[in-house]
Amino acid sequence: MSLQFNATGDFSRLVSPLTPEIKAPVNASFDTHGTTVIAVKYRDGVLNVADRRATAGMSIMYDKSEKILPLDDHTLVSISGSFAKAIEIARYLRHSFKYYTRSQLQPMSLEGKLAEMTKALVQNLPMALQGIGTFVPVLSAWDEQAGEGKIYFFDPMGARFESSDFGAAGSGSAPIRGSFDYITRTKGPFAEMDLQTALRECLILLDIAADNDAATGGYAKIAPSAKAVTKDGILNLNEGELQRVMDEMQSGQAPQSLNVRTERVNADAPTN
């Protein structure tokens, strides 16, 4: 059984007027399974935070799934939708980027990476129409030419959009959409925050999403996932660091410096 995390609306209504000969099954529920993945720009790059709950229908299948996947040293994808399909596409993209680097003797451009993501989504469209393979990603990357972090989100048909400050996907993203604007209007853009401040705001947003979406796991029992992409590579915030930040938030302490370091991505390593 494919584990379904998310969808963004009634996909069959979106597609069938254009292609009436293709019909999604009546029982395909694109908007009842979900998750919450969040990406925000901060001073040194892009921070990604995600819950770790995997659901199948109304059942909680697993509480330690990894939904933030490094594709190379400067690219992260946060996944929502079918977990099995998301892992398959992430593996394809990871090896596609590595193959291009080895064969062309240069890294793939950011535009090339985005085109590969679009191609993967288009190829997955038949599975999405069947209601068993919907995949909605948020891609974060360090743009070496622009010297800044970038956030892109997609729809299941491959349409691409760039966000200026933040992005989110999953069924829990809808309840917190206005909260992003509230934070930026009262505390300033995420892009001006340091890592500690941005992380605290994302944890609050994730907690609100968990309160309003049954398919989003909170962090009372299991710490969420958090990774950042910077000019120096991927930052992985381990469970101990996250727990310390959450304890500080609960006790009202001032944020302390995070002890994190960049990691290199092995294209041959498992994706979860």
User: How is residue 58 written in tokens?
Assistant: 């109304």
Nearest to 78 by CA among 200, 226, 245, 202: 226
How many CB atoms within 10 Å of residue 266?
10
State residue 39 phi and psi, 5-degree precision: -130, 130
Among candidate residues 8, 35, 184, 271, the one labeled active-site is 35
CA 76-79-83 angle, to 5 degrees, is 130
Told to judge if 35 belongs to the known catalytic residues of this protein, a careful annotator would answer yes
**Chain-centroid distance, C-alpha 214:** 18
Distance CA 224, CA 196 (A): 15
Please give the positions annotated as active site: 35
